[in-house]
Every structure is written in C-alpha cells, then in structure tokens.
C-alpha cells in the first residue's frame, strides 16, 4: 500500500477464501478474496454485520478455520495450511484472542488463577511455582485486578472484571498479535469505556497489534487506526479510520455509518437511515476488485464505479477545503 511502504507488516492476508463444507453440495464461501496487510503496532478493525464473515476471518488467522484459497502470513512466514508442529505452537502462543462474552469464555468451575495460568501450563512458560504465581499476579495487575482475586471463581466478578480476566489470560502469553472478537459488545456502556481504555493502554505498553472485530462504527472510530468494512464475505472498503469517516465511498459503508445512533434527540429523530440497496452498484457484470481510490483508501468496485468514486472523493475534498 503506497503510503505505508516503510511500515512493518505483521499479518498479511493474501487473497484468502474460506469455504465451509468445501467439496460438497452444501459448500458455502463465507469469505471471498480477502486481501489486506496489518501493520505492526496498529489497531486494524474489521466491521460488518452478523454473518458477514468477520469472525470467520479472524479465526482463520488463529488457524481455527482453514483457508480454501490464498494464504496468511505472520511475520513473513506462512501460517495457513500445513505447517510444522513447532511453528503451530509458536502461532498459538504469539496470536491470542479476546472473546465476546466473558461469562461464556471462562471455565466457571476453575479459579481465576487457573484460568489465567492455563496457557503457561500448556507451554511450560514458567521456571517454578513461584515464577508462575508472579506472572499471574503481574498479568492481573496489568488489567487492573488485584492478586487476591486469584482464588475466586468467574461468577464472583462483574461483567467488566470478567472481561479483564479474559484479557489477562491473553496477555500472560506475551503475544504479539491479538484478535479481539467483539470484546465489548456484551458489556454495559460504562464498562465498555473501561475495557476500551485498558486495551489502548496495554497496546501502548506492550507494543501490541490488534485485529478488532466489531459491528459498531462509533466504537471502532475511537479505537482503530485503519478500518476494513466487510459485507457478505467481501471486503468492500479499507481506509485509515479518519478517511473512512470523512470520505465513505461504498454504499454499504454509508449505510452502516447512517445507522450509528447519535446521542442527541433533536438530531437523531430527523436523521436519515440509508438502507443498503445493492442495485445501485454497477450491474454490467464488469470485474470487481479492490481499487485504490485515494492513497491508502481501497474500495471494491468495477472500473466504471472507480471513476465515479474518484470524482466523488475529490469533490468532497474540495468542499472540505473550500
């Protein structure tokens, strides 16, 4: 990507297809030709509705869902398909996940100490018991919990605290890359803010890279550096966060943007919600691909639409300046 040439790529998704029940009559392509890079140190957001394939793609990076075409690389090495056992272990350790529902993702019959140490046990990442406990204590402190919480069970915590435990068990592995799948959707408004702040803090302290999967553009705007919008398995637009909000081009992005509820009754009651209508797209059957409309701003379009989007973007830019 032109203006990002000097940045280090940590994860690269190259023309990836993900098909469920491949080879059978039921074959269903959940992700089609996903192609993007994630740079070290950034928060890359994947935004879309349920069923758009955003979680499937996140899981493919974690090696849970196999790719049926294309490949995924991590730090320059291919991690999709068959790889050696050693490499597999390395990926499992370096790429961690934060789940949506902290109540469902923690073992309710295990103490917090066990929940957080599980990764350490699996990978023998501690010298002795004292070292393990020191690591657990540090991980809990990092996420704003106290060492004495170790002996408690998940049900004794509030939703926000449970999500902190979920984050602590990811952090204790000292990952480089984190896939956060709707980490705040199940939380209350006031707790959402806490978890978002915490994720930002940890990112800065530990030099992390996030793939942040969400459906809510208002949250994504606050947390991400770049955003990819995905619809029915296809990425339709990728841009830097500010650019996407300033110059939304694909009609689906515009529809998503118009659906964000604004906390102002005078404005919200008159706000127009744009329903996405795919028939406005070029129906000529011309090939569609990701095309760079402005530097770093890619839209999935045909040649004809590409010209329209370019004209629209420069008109919007002029209006902004004038």
Partner 1 sequence: MAENRNVVLSAKDIEVKFRVRDNYLTAIRGVSLDLYEGETFAIVGESGSGKSVFTKTFTGMLESNGTISNGSVMFHGKDLTKLKTDKDWEGIRGAKISTIFQDPMTSLNPIRTIGSQITEVIEKHQGISKAEAKKQAIEMMERVGIVNAANRFDEYPFQYSGGMRQRIVIAIALACHPEILICDEPTTALDVTIQAQILQLIRDLQKELGFTTLYITHDLGVVANVADRVGVMYGGQIIEFGTVEEIFFESCHPYTWALLSSLPQLGIKGQDLYYITGTPPSLYNKIKGDAFAPRNEHALKIDFEQEPPFFKVSDTHYAKTWLLDPRAPRLERPEVIQDLHAKIKKMTDKGGAFHVE
Name the segment binding partner 1 (CB under 8 A); options: 111-119, 122-130, 171-179, 272-280. 272-280
Distance from C-alpha of 200 to C-alpha of 94, rounded to nearest angstrom: 19
Assess 207 for contact with partner 1 (CB under 8 A): no
Assess 148 for contact with partner 1 (CB under 8 A): no
Burial, 18: exposed, middle or buried (Cβ in 10 Å; 0-12, 13-18, 19+)? buried
- Nearest approach, Cβ of residue 99 and partner 1 (Å): 17
- State whether the Cα torsion 256-15-19-89 is positive or negative: negative
Assess 222 for contact with partner 1 (CB under 8 A): yes
- Sketch the per residue contact string, 106 through 145, with partner 1: x for CB under 8 A, - otherwise: ----------------------------------------
β-sheet bridge partners, residue 209: 177
Distance from C-alpha of 49 to C-alpha of 38, rounded to nearest angstrom: 21
CB 256 within 8 A of CB 229: yes
Assess 276 for contact with partner 1 (CB under 8 A): yes
Which residue, 88 or 268, has its beta carbon nearer to partner 1? 268
Assess 158 for contact with partner 1 (CB under 8 A): yes
- Sketch the per residue contact string, 48 through 87, with partner 1: x for CB under 8 A, - otherwise: -xx-------------------------------------
Burial, 43: exposed, middle or buried (Cβ in 10 Å; 0-12, 13-18, 19+)? buried
Which residue, 96 or 253, has its beta carbon nearer to partner 1? 253
Which residue, 90 or 194, has its beta carbon nearer to partner 1? 194
Name the segment binding partner 1 (CB under 8 A); options: 23-31, 67-75, 88-96, 190-198. 190-198
Q: Which two tokens stand for residue 27?
A: 């074959």
Burial, 276: exposed, middle or buried (Cβ in 10 Å; 0-12, 13-18, 19+)? middle
Assess 280 for contact with partner 1 (CB under 8 A): no
Pairing of strands 226-231, 43-47: parallel
Assess 28 for contact with partner 1 (CB under 8 A): no
CB 215 within 8 A of CB 48: yes
Distance from C-alpha of 47 to C-alpha of 224, rounded to nearest angstrom: 11
β-sheet bridge partners, residue 44: 211, 226
Which residue, 51 or 295, has its beta carbon nearer to partner 1? 51
Which residue, 13 or 256, has its beta carbon nearer to partner 1? 256
- Sketch the per residue contact string, 234 through 263, with partner 1: x for CB under 8 A, - otherwise: -------xx--xx-x-----xxxxxxxxxx
Sheet holding 77-78, edge to edge: 28-39, 9-20, 69-74, 77-78
Which residue, 98 or 184, has its beta carbon nearer to partner 1? 184
Assess 178 for contact with partner 1 (CB under 8 A): no
- Nearest approach, Cβ of residue 100 and partner 1 (Å): 12
DSSP 8-class letter at 247: S
Q: Residue 150, CB half-sphere, CA atoms under 13 Å: how many?
A: 16
- Nearest approach, Cβ of residue 312 and partner 1 (Å): 9
Distance from C-alpha of 126 to C-alpha of 122, rounded to nearest angstrom: 10
| Binding residues for partner 1 (CB under 8 A) | 49-50, 158-159, 188-194, 196-197, 200, 215-219, 221-222, 241-242, 245-246, 248, 254-269, 271-276, 319-320
């Amino acid at each position: 990507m032109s203006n990002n040439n000097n940045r280090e790529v940590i994860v690269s998704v190259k023309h990836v297809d993900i098909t469920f029940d491949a080879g059978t009559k039921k074959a269903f392509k959940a992700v089609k030709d996903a192609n993007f890079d994630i740079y070290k140190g950034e928060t890359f957001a994947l935004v879309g509705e349920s069923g758009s394939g955003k979680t499937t793609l996140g899981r493919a990076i974690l090696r849970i869902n196999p790719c049926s075409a294309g490949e995924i690389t991590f730090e320059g090495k291919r991690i999709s398909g068959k790889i050696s056992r050693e490499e597999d272990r390395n990926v499992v350790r370096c790429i961690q996940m934060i789940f949506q529902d902290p109540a469902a993702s923690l073992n309710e019959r295990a103490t917090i100490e066990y929940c957080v140490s599980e990764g350490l046990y699996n990978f023998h990442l501690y010298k002795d018991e004292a070292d393990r406990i020191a690591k657990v204590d540090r991980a809990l402190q990092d996420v704003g919990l106290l060492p004495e919480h170790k002996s408690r069970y998940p049900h004794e915590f509030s939703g926000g605290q449970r999500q902190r435990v979920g984050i602590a068990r990811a952090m204790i592995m000292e990952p480089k890359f984190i896939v956060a799948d709707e980490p705040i959707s199940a939380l209350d408004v006031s707790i959402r803010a806490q978890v978002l702040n915490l994720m930002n803090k940890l990112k800065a302290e530990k030099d992390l890279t996030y793939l942040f999967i969400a459906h809510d553009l208002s949250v994504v705007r606050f947390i991400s550096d770049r955003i990819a919008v995905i619809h029915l398995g296809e990425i339709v637009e990728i841009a830097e966060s500010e650019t996407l909000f300033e110059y939304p081009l694909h009609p689906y992005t515009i529809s998503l943007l118009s659906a964000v509820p604004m906390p102002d009754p005078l404005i919200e009651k008159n706000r127009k919600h744009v329903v996405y209508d795919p028939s406005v797209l070029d129906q000529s059957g011309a090939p569609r691909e990701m095309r760079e409309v402005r530097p770093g701003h890619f839209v999935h379009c045909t040649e004809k639409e590409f010209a329209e989007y370019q004209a629209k973007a420069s008109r919007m830019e002029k209006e902004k300046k004038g």
